[in-house]
Structure 1
Amino acid sequence: MNLIELALTTYTESKAERSEEADYHAEQARTEFLGHARSSAGTNLCKDAADLDWQYVTEGLPDQMEEARALLVPGRREYLRYRIDNGPGTVAFELVQPCTACRNDRVSPVTGLFHLGQLLTEDDGPHPATGGDQEPGPLAAIEQASAHAARVARLARHLIAEHPDAGLAVQHVSLFGHEHGDGRAEIHFNAGGLDALRRVAAALGAEVTVRVSGGSPAFVLEHGSATGTVDDIDVELRAYSQMSDDEAAAWRAQQDQPADGGEGE
């Protein structure tokens, strides 16, 4: 190995080691931060709050800010958040209540379990009118579809931020508006794999179904899907994962077995 090759090899290996070390320390920091969030939830509320599915979030936040979130109940949008602003060094434990009517978040500090119950029963005041008894205008159907589009976009950003490791990507969106104010919205996501799909589906309270296909001798695929509803928006999740060679062989052997009372295919 000449000097150039030696230098390049040393640089490449050193860079890889530094990257692995940085990833290790970042994961340690995330784990520690989630531990602080659970501890705060347990101290301010109860053990059940500490046991919620807390997720580390950085997307959409300033560089100096860190946040952890946990949905109160799968399928709803209210969530607890533990946030640290490393600039001024402030720590906050709050309830966030997204509003689909005005598309604003109501953020309230939480001081205890009684206070959380109080916040969940309070009305945060009037929202912008949604039509009421007024006659629909000539663009009512378009306005309805536009409102659905804003809600769907907000939901998509929310789910992606809540599950940063799930590889969620919007596959397609369907919107329907009507002159009388009715409407419908659907959003379809692809997830990064079956495990990711199951995590997101659990947060939505949706059941996962899996089917297996062996379209090629080289591999066997597991296709997962789940459907749920969040704030009247239909959400569909899809993902697939490739079976290992041993799993695929076992599945194919099972398919070759004759059915009860019949001949094998």
Structure 2
Amino acid sequence: MKKFLLFGLVLTLFVFLAGGTASALSTEDIAKASALEEILKRGELRVGLEAGYQPFEMQDKKGNIVGFDVDMAYELGKAIFGKGGEKKVKIINTAWEGIIPALMTHKFDIIMSGMTILQSRNLKVNFCDPYYFIGQCLLVNKKNKGKIKSYKDLNKKGVIITSKLGVTGQFTAERLMPKATLRLFKTEAEGALQVANGLADAFIYDEPQVRVFAAKYKKTCFGIFEPLTYEPLGWAIRKGDPDFLNFLNNFLRQVRGDGRWEKLKQKWMVDYIEKVAREQ
């Protein structure tokens, strides 16, 4: 009996030690399978975004995709490849409803598209540390000046609110203004235009984008910029890639610390919006 017990203990110890070795090998395999290794071998960083979320990503008059996230992607390219690395960044414009599935099927390496870090999304992807914080704000038609001072004034029958389908603007309107009629559109531009043309009372969306629309439609609209939500924005990558996640978080610390992040914030969140207002 004692011999059987001793054999069992030895066998258990062997399995434990073997498992530890397998675990170490598994960790090495995970490192080799990192998207970061794939990017280096390929010689190209592929970035997914939807070019309609001003001033994070949009198309300029020449059709080029520009914005805060785009410039950050170029900085990330330089961090990965060194000098000239921005030329090795490929921007892939993708419809919002398909952007996470496209990441999962390896159409690109990372989503850099002003994505709010939601726990429901976190079940599908991993997020790096937040790189920007926003809140939902309101674009209101001037016919309501003096009548609408907060979201509470919109929560009643007969009021028409617009937003984009499948984003936190929609979720916030449904939660805080359930009595109003909510109309959802494929793009944020369509929703804002409804308010500018007097076909809706208010548009609810992310604060930077609302500031752009308030500048663009300053003759017919005004903004209410007291945030209704607290929303960290993060870049998304596929699950199971700690090396790439670590690289991104360290990259964010670096650009925040050396002033590049602040320069891009000034360029897109201040200077660009002021330019839009001057051109109207």
Task: Return the TM-score normalized by structure 2.
Answer: 0.28
Greater fraction of residues in helix: 2
Greater fraction of residues in strand: 1
Task: Return the TM-score normalized by structure 1.
Answer: 0.30
